[in-house]
């Protein structure tokens, strides 16, 4: 497998929230409900890889989540600024905040999965 395929597989496994060891099991429980907080599995149901290593392990994932939120906010602002120039600053701010709230749940999940993939045990 060449380097490009490895990178594509890495990105797909992170986006699909797959286990970093076997790339088959899910890191988060599926079908939890849209209004419920995401629930993380303790271990992979396929290979028994433990996701919860130690208390405070996912503290670094908060930085990733913050970075994702900032990037999303900047992209949303730039889209609003260039495609809707007559929109007032108040509405631009409210739309950026709304986008960050809507994507917050996915950011939480992506940041944890990405952190597990970057720093496997």
CA 91/CA 15 separation, integer angstroms: 31
Tokens of residue 24, six digits: 């088959």
Buried b / exposed e across 77-97, counting CB within 10 Å, b at 16+? eeebeeeeeeeeeeeeeebbe
| Three-state DSSP state, 26 | strand
Compute the radius of gyration of the chain from its Cα atoms: 17
User: What was the pLDDT predicted at 58?
Assistant: 87
pTM over 0.85: no
Q: What is the pLDDT of residues 70-118, one digit of tens each?
A: 999 999 999 999 999 999 999 999 999 999 999 999 999 999 999 998 8
pLDDT over 80 at 120, yes or no: no
Q: What is the pLDDT of residues 16-53, one digit of tens each?
A: 999 999 999 999 998 877 778 888 999 999 999 998 87
């Amino acid at each position: 497998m060449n380097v490009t395929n490895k990178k594509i597989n890495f990105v797909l496994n992170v986006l699909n929230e797959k286990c970093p060891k076997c790339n088959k099991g899910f890191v988060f429980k599926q079908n939890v409900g849209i209004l419920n907080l995401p629930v993380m599995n303790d271990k992979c149901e396929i290979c028994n890889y433990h996701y919860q290593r130690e208390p405070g392990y996912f503290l670094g994932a908060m930085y990733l989540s913050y970075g994702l939120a900032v990037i999303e906010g900047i992209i949303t602002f730039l889209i609003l600024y260039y495609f809707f120039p007559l929109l007032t600053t108040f509405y631009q701010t409210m739309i950026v905040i709304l986008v960050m709230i809507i994507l917050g749940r996915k950011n939480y999940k992506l940041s944890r999965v990405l952190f597990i993939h970057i720093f496997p045990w």
